[in-house]
Chains A and B, each alone.
Chain A
Amino acid sequence: MTANATFEQRRRRVGLLFVLPALLVLAVVLGYPIVDSVALALQQVSLRSGVVQQSWVGLDNFRRLFADTTFQRAALNTAYFSSAEVVLVTVISLSIAILLNHPIGRFGIFRILLIVPWAIAPVANAVLWKWILHSNYGVLNGVLKALGVIDVYHVWLGTPASALNFLLLVDVWKSVPFVALLMLAGLQRVPNSLYRAAYMDGAGPWQSFLHVTLPTIRSVIAIAVVLQTIWSLRVFDIVFVLTRGGPADATVLLNFLAYRVTFNFLDLGYGSAIANVVFVLTVILAIVYVRLLWPRERRAG
């Protein structure tokens, strides 16, 4: 079988050649920085007139995290923002997916309505909502007052709790469509014969949802939850455009704090330490994702 072996060897060589360029790019642009980000977190790094100065400080940056009340504030904000976002996005997306999977909801126009918010740039989305939420001329105030819901115009982004919740609303609006599309794709893979069998067994719509729909799309839901959590840790554009972290640091999320410390306060080492926290959180979530995606028997092979 020597001919066969050389054939296999040739295929392997070509395979490596095919994979190499992509791996090189990823190693240079992503691999090197992620390793360096850990090293940077152990240094004092400053930027003076465009020149980077570095010196090793051990775990000092990480020790600073524990005493930093802004960091704690940001961690709490992020915990609230991410968990609320995941719950809202999952529930709303699943409801929309179910609606659009119903025979009445199967018109193409509904799917177009989902794809549009996905394609809108997060920055353009933030600018749009800045206008909608404007305290003097915003349409939200106008509509709510016309409907008699509020008496006076509100400064929606002016108070801490309200500002954070409106950022949440804006990001949920932007995130829902894609997750809904993922779930809709999952729903469409549920074989019709299962519903027929449930019907034969006398199951009502609610029962067939509980016992047929949910179990079959459970993995899609789980994957959406993990991905959405990872995405929510990256939220940046809307904070930058809408509030810049204010009022009183109420909308500072970990990601934004790392940016602010690094590029506004030019404390690059400490910024890296905060970024590392986000990184570790993401790695944990990514491991969960891989476990969900790859059932045990296939991982073995």
Chain B
Amino acid sequence: MSFVKRRHGGPFMRGFVIAGLIVFVLWSAGPVIWLVLSSLMEQQALIAQPPQVVPSSFTLDNFIQVLSAAAALGHGIFNSALVALFSTAVALAFGAPAAYALARLPVPRANNIAFLILATQMLPGIAIAIPLFIAMSKLGLIDSVLSLGFVYLSFNLPIVIWILRGFFMAIPVGIERAAAVDGAGVSATFWHIVLPISIPPMAAAAVFAFVEAWNEFFFALILTRQNAQTVPLVIAQFAGQYQTVFGQMMAAAVISVVPVIALAIVFRNQVVRGFADGMTKG
């Protein structure tokens, strides 16, 4: 048996791998497929006994009803988009220079600062949420899209810095030396030489940050009321109020997850590489 053949395994091994993959596909895709199917089924079909696992007809009624009945959903999508875009864009604007400085410039104790920044990512939400809630109540900042955006910015900064720092450390020093010899200052080098070759990791960091902000629930629950409500809050509320209108519940869930799933699928390779490298390489 050759080496390559050995790596593929014998017929027994292949059968085992294929069986494992089938279980994996059912386990990962099953619930998601059921989510989409239920959102496309009529209420009668959903509560039929015995249950119809393979529906006889599809309808878009649930989506139409959810979008027309729940004005909160449209408002929530708008808020979520705003908060996610703001926190992602500012995180990149602040995070990219910080990551570059921590990777390349003679900042005192750069490694310690980098680790401190990473450590903030691990703080349990609840320990921060209570003081933040009190302080923001006193300052009248509760239920504002901008304050929520700032809170999410602080969650996104560590992600961005950590992903980009790993990338910047791997850039050959020669490129920057050449720029310096040509008379470029630090800022010019960063802006004209380093940033243009950093588009892929920046895209990864942006997607990661956007998804996290779009999906965040806990702080939105505590720091917003009606006005700044985001999509996850609307979905949770909807599931509490209309718990018998299953099709609409699923339609609302589908609407809320489609944008981030699309982003994640398109950028999957960058996201995985960026995050895996950032989290597992000091």
Query: What is A's interface to B at a CB cutoff of 8 Å?
Result: 8, 10-12, 14-16, 18-19, 21-23, 25-26, 28-34, 36-37, 40, 45, 50, 52, 95-96, 99, 102-105, 110-124, 126-132, 134, 136-137, 139, 141-143, 145-146, 173, 177-178, 181-182, 184-186, 195-196, 199, 205, 219-220, 223, 227, 230, 233-234, 236-237, 240-241, 255, 258-259, 262-263, 268, 271-272, 274-276, 278-279, 282, 285-286, 289-290, 293-295, 298
Contact = CB atoms under 8 A, between A and B. Distances in A.
Interface of B: 3, 6-9, 13-14, 17-18, 20-21, 24-25, 27-29, 31-32, 34-35, 38, 46-47, 50-51, 53, 94-95, 97-98, 100-102, 105-108, 110, 113, 115, 117, 119-120, 122-135, 137-138, 150-151, 153-154, 157-158, 161, 185-187, 190, 211, 214-215, 217-218, 221-222, 231-233, 235-236, 238-239, 243, 246, 249-250, 252-253, 256-257, 260-261, 263-265, 268, 271-273, 275-277, 279-280, 282
Contacts of A14: 101, 105, 185-187
B232 A124 contact: yes
Residue among B13, B17, B28 having the largest count of chain A Cβ atoms under 10 Å: B28
B260 A271 contact: no
Contacts of A36: 131, 134-135
Contacts of A111: 268, 272
A12 B35 CA distance: 53
A233 to B, nearest CB: 6
A29 B20 contact: no
Contacts, number: 319
Contact of B51 (A22, A137, A219): A137
A13 to B, nearest CB: 9
Contact of B127 (A26, A29, A37, A143): A37
Contact of B235 (A15, A34, A127, A293): A127
Contacts of A132: 31, 34
B257 A124 contact: yes
B17 A99 contact: yes
B6 A16 contact: no
B124 A278 contact: yes
B134 A29 contact: no
Given A23-B98, A50-B137, A102-B17, 15 more contacts: A25-B154, A25-B157, A29-B128, A96-B24, A102-B9, A104-B17, A118-B264, A124-B232, A124-B253, A124-B256, A141-B51, A142-B53, A143-B53, A185-B276, A240-B217
19 contacts: A8-B106, A15-B107, A15-B110, A16-B101, A25-B154, A34-B127, A52-B137, A113-B29, A115-B265, A117-B32, A127-B236, A137-B246, A182-B279, A184-B272, A185-B272, A268-B134, A272-B130, A282-B123, A294-B115
B101 A119 contact: no
Closest A-B pairs by Cβ, 5 of them: A15-B105, A142-B51, A185-B276, A29-B154, A18-B101
A104 B264 contact: no
Contact of A173 (B9, B31, B98, B243): B31
Contact of B35 (A15, A128, A142, A181): A128
Contacts of A182: 275-276, 279-280
A258 to B, nearest CB: 5
A121 B215 contact: yes
Contacts of B38: 131
B28 A223 contact: no
Contacts of B222: 259, 263
A127 B239 contact: yes
A11 B105 contact: yes
A22 B135 contact: no
B276 A52 contact: no
Contacts of B265: 112, 115-116, 119
Contacts of A184: 272
A182 B27 CA distance: 19
B224 to A, nearest CB: 13
A202 to B, nearest CB: 11
